[in-house]
Chain A
Amino acid sequence: MEEESKEKTLKDLRMHAEEVELRYSKDKCTGCGICVQVCPKESLSLNPTGASIKGYIKEDPIELDADKCVLCGVCVALCPEDALRILINDVEKTLIIENGGLPEEIRFRGEISIDQSRCPKGCDTCKEICREEAIEIGEDIVVDEEKCTFCGSCVVVCPSEAITMKRTELVCEGTGTRVMNRVQEKLIGEVRLENMLHITDDE
């Protein structure tokens, strides 16, 4: 099917008796970096999202180090655009959701503000990238907080860091699991690009 052919397999655990894959759809990805932040093995990394989506560079918005990935599915569960899928023997299956580690649907509540003086007029990357069409560019940049999912893609792509976003709450059904708590720790709070760049002590 056409949609599936645009999908890319990031990791393929191919065994004689079973095949497990992590598939990624660049078309759906908005480069928000949530998957990069929540991956327990830090196996995902973020490339310049705006440039990638506009086609200026050939790299995808995210990259996977397949050796580190353990196909746990946390990224799949958290991706706001469902750009990631795990398939076991060609059947979509995300164990961490099925087994109650993470919920099916996750939404954020938060605050967003734009420093209009920093916004370079003529750039409308944030409006382009917002899948919810929550950003309107007129005299000022205006965000419709009802539509905003606080995914943070606009913060990532803004060239002059004009957008300040803070997630205040994670809304979902159930689960007080360890992994859920860690996800909350990582995502609740101010959305900062630095948090998605895996800067380690030895760099």
Chain B
Amino acid sequence: MNKEKKNEEKEELRIGVYVCDCGSNIAGVVDCAAVAREIEKLDDVVIVRENKYTCSDSGQEEIKKDIKKHKLNRVVVASCSPRLHEPTFRKCVESAGLNRYLFEMANIREHCSWVHPKNPTEATEKAKDLTKMAVAKARKLKPLPKIQSPVINEALVVGGGVAGIQAALDLADMGFKTYLVEKEPSIGGHMAALDKTFPTIDCSICILGPKMSDAGNHPNIELLTYSEIESVEGYIGNFKVKVRKKARYITDECNGCGECWKVCPVITKNEFDLGLGPRKAIYIPFPQAVPLKATIDMNACIECGLCEEVCEREGAIDFKQEDEIIELNVGTIIVATGFTDYDPSGEYGYGEYDNVLTGMDYERLINAAGPTLGNVTRKDGKKPKSIAWIQCVGSRNKDNTHCSNVCCMYAMKEAMQIKEKYPDTEVYIFYIDIRAFGKDFEEFYKRLMNKGVRFIRGVPAEIKETPEKNLKIVVENTILGRVCEYEVEMVVLSTGIMPNTDAQEMQRKLNISRTADGFFMEAHPKLRPVDTPTDGIYLAGCSQGPKDIPNSVSQAKGAAASAAIPMIRGVVEPDSTIASVDLDKCTNCALCAKYCPYNAIVHEKNKPLKIIEAACKGCGTCAAICPVGAMEQEGFTDAQLISEIEAVLEENPEEKILAFLCNWCSYAGADTAGISRFEYPPNVRIIKYMCSGRASARLVDKAFELNAGMVLVSGCHIGDCHYIDGNYSCEERMDKYRKTLEAKAIDPRRFHVEWFSAAEGGEFAEYMKELEDMRKKLQEEGKLTPWKKKAKKKP
């Protein structure tokens, strides 16, 4: 898209500014009336209003009326984070006839009132600055045309546990072809391994089995089991996914009859039984497996050929089978990859003592299809006369601070089962808190108490094994206030729900984020719990955080509904803030094409540069790298960003820390600091770009030219860039830039490059404190001197 002629710059600017109280969220700290008065003084500002809740119906109506009545052609709202309500307000101005890109927001809540509650005066000054910056940028905004891109109406669900299965069923029932990819040989996940579920004590596989069967038979669901995601490219509406279908050495001819594993000579540990019992090299993980097909574990198999001999279906066993890479083209992706159990090896004698098990181990023992045929027995085969459950193993500690949600209930369920089957068993539950928060949970807890289970409030310090292989538990009974010793015949550790061990890999492949606890991050913790900040990718089940079965199912249904929206519409409108080139200025050096992470710029010799609009995701790397300023990113042009820099550094520039933050990670991290109310000094002024790839020497130079106290360039952590590798090129450029500071008489300690993720609110706030301390020190030492233009070479 070429730059349009400059007629529009002659239009009369009529800017409307709305300063939001946000109830007392902003007004409680910031003097919004004072901000409004200050803004009224600015050129081109036609109307300034202060209102309680700008995002409300009445607030939005007011804006629409003003646009019409006062012929506004730019609108600025100073309120919460644009990550929350920019879409809301853009729709609002558009419905009043104004192009949605002629709208700008100032974040005076997450970045101001919420983080400077003890400094109302400074916070008010900061709010004035931030609003001035938004007005300055608004002056330079241009209307942008809508872009529409088609949506493929097929979906991918990653993970075949209860959440993945439910999401796939709902999507398939809606009529969308859905691929369900599962890394194990069968779908079912953790729920298939459980015996009974709380609080109803239903048989787990009995309620899951029919859903698994439906998923296996649904005409709209294609099951890809024993398969993993290799790579994901593309964007909402058009994801290109490569799936590796691992070789199971069995073809579709197999009908799961089971004659093969009877003759297999190899014995190894059965992972589905958590290593408690055996399986053969050729196996089906459990009787209700879907698909009901065998799998050969080649690590164990010796290719003796006995299975082949006994198999009655010709061609069912194929030792020559190889991994297959399948390419899928889908519109939306749901991530339902579940969780990993906490491994307590080394704690409380797990792995060493005979009779210390985890909660999941217990499920496999008490399951009639498990390795002991439903008998909860010790390793010596005897039934335990006493069992103790220890809660919070692996959760709520300094390594994993979260509560795993289900352990209190599952321990109580397991205890209930023992008490109902063998009422004479002595049962103890050692807890910190009993969390029985859900529907019918408290009632269940009461019932269990009435069965004579001893609830002892205290975390055992250690467990010792006796010569009879019993366990001696030493614990402070905090209610009695003294240290006690209990000897039991079996201990069950209620281990927690941990993020998947391959979560980091999955995060990189999909370009989504994780919260501090390691689970995948939602777009908004309250209002968008099944979306990720990446359009087109949704979350369901424990991949997003520990939860029980009904909540996983609810979330899966929510994710399916969300994923259906763009697919039903058939089109999405990506942001129009994409690259544009001024061919008059372009010298065809093609640096932009080289650095574009999406190969969206086509450079051919002797031909003008071409931008593939559908491929451009709007990172701005090309704009930063262009040596002649021919490349611009609409919505984040040099003129627009520089106007913000000029506005904020008009007064007292040395007092200010100018921070360039990227929309997906560091800006979101600063939002998180606000949401969590982590306080930091009010000297920081934040300028948003979409990606740190947009950071250029030109912009930082401008900041130092105007004598900014400190400048921070920030983005996603290296390796996690939302635009693949924008931050790599940023780092490269900023390293080179740093070397030029000395010649400009700018102390290099005034310039910082630091990366923050969206979850790192605490780290961001701490770093702001560090920067302010450094700035103060430099100011005291007289080091915040204005820059010197490069001296001319002596003749």
Contact = CB atoms under 8 A, between A and B. Distances in A.
Contact of A13 (B268, B306, B357): B268
Interface string B246-278: 000000000000000011111111000101111
A179 B302 contact: yes
A102 to B, nearest CB: 8
B277 A72 contact: no
A22 to B, nearest CB: 11
23 contacts: A13-B267, A15-B278, A16-B357, A16-B365, A16-B372, A17-B273, A17-B277, A17-B365, A17-B371, A17-B372, A20-B267, A40-B303, A70-B266, A70-B300, A74-B302, A99-B262, A99-B263, A99-B264, A100-B263, A101-B265, A101-B305, A178-B305, A179-B305
Contacts of B302: 40-41, 70, 72, 74, 179
Nearest to A88: B267
Contacts of B276: 15-17
B568 to A, nearest CB: 50
B492 to A, nearest CB: 13
A17 B366 CA distance: 12
B363 interface: no
Contacts of A40: 302-304
A41 B301 CA distance: 9
Given A17-B278, A70-B300, A179-B306, 16 more contacts: A13-B268, A15-B275, A15-B276, A15-B278, A16-B276, A70-B268, A71-B266, A73-B265, A88-B267, A96-B304, A96-B306, A101-B265, A101-B305, A178-B305, A179-B305, A182-B303
Nearest to A179: B304
A177 interface: yes
B195 to A, nearest CB: 15
Given A18-B278, A70-B266, A179 B371 contact: no
A108 B543 CA distance: 59
Interface of A: 13, 15-18, 20, 40-41, 70-74, 88, 94-96, 99-101, 177-179, 182
B304 A16 contact: no
B354 to A, nearest CB: 8
A72 B371 contact: no
Contacts of A16: 276-277, 357, 361, 365, 371-372, 379
B304 A15 contact: no
A15 B379 CA distance: 8
A70 B283 CA distance: 15
A13 B267 CA distance: 9
B148 to A, nearest CB: 57
Cβ-closest 5 pairs across A and B: A178-B305, A179-B304, A17-B371, A96-B265, A40-B302
A71 B372 CA distance: 21
Contacts of B233: none
Interface in B370-400: 371-372, 379
A153 to B, nearest CB: 25
A83 B555 CA distance: 59
A71 B304 contact: no
Nearest to A97: B265
B267 A95 contact: yes
B269 A15 contact: yes
B308 interface: yes
B299 to A, nearest CB: 8
Interface residues of B, number: 30
Contacts of A41: 302
Contacts of A20: 267, 278
B281 interface: yes
A76 to B, nearest CB: 10
A166 to B, nearest CB: 26
A18 B371 CA distance: 8
B372 A179 contact: no
Interface of B: 262-269, 273, 275-278, 281, 299-306, 308-309, 357, 361, 365, 371-372, 379
Contacts of B269: 13, 15
Contacts of B303: 40, 178-179, 182
Contact of B265 (A15, A17, A18, A99): A99
A101 B300 CA distance: 16
Contacts of B281: 70
Nearest to A18: B278
A39 to B, nearest CB: 9
Contacts of B305: 101, 177-179
Contacts of A74: 302, 304
Contacts of B308: 178
Given A16-B379, A20-B267, A178 B300 contact: no
A41 B281 CA distance: 13
A194 to B, nearest CB: 23
Contacts of B301: 70
Contacts of B300: 70
Nearest to B269: A15
Contacts of A13: 267-269, 278
Contacts of B267: 13, 20, 70-71, 88, 95
Contacts of B278: 13, 15, 17-18, 20
Nearest to A177: B305
A177 B309 contact: yes
B306 A100 contact: yes
Contacts of A177: 304-306, 309
A95 B268 contact: no
B714 to A, nearest CB: 46
B283 to A, nearest CB: 13
Contact of A15 (B262, B277, B309): B277
A88 B275 CA distance: 16
A17 B277 CA distance: 5
Given A13-B268, A16-B361, A16-B365, A99 B306 contact: yes
Interface centre among B262, B309, B361, B365 (most CB of A within 10 A): B309
A146 to B, nearest CB: 33
Nearest to A98: B265
B22 to A, nearest CB: 58
Nearest to B371: A17
Contacts of A178: 303-305, 308
Nearest to B306: A101
B266 A72 contact: yes
B356 to A, nearest CB: 11
A53 B269 CA distance: 35
A16 B365 CA distance: 9
A95 B263 CA distance: 8
Contact of B277 (A18, A71, A95, A100): A18
Nearest to B381: A17
Contacts of A100: 263, 306
A36 B273 CA distance: 32
A20 B361 CA distance: 20
A195 to B, nearest CB: 19
A186 to B, nearest CB: 13
A56 B480 CA distance: 64
B581 to A, nearest CB: 53
Contacts of B365: 16-17
Contact of A101 (B268, B273, B304, B361): B304
Interface centre among A17, A40, A101 (most CB of B within 10 A): A17
A26 to B, nearest CB: 24
Contacts of B306: 96, 99-101, 177, 179
A72 B282 CA distance: 13
A41 B303 CA distance: 10
Nearest to A40: B302
A159 to B, nearest CB: 34
Nearest to B297: A70
Contacts of A101: 263, 265, 304-306
Contacts of B273: 17
A116 B267 CA distance: 47
Contacts of B268: 13, 70-71
A99 B310 CA distance: 10
Contacts of A182: 303
A41 B302 CA distance: 7
Contacts of A18: 277-278, 371
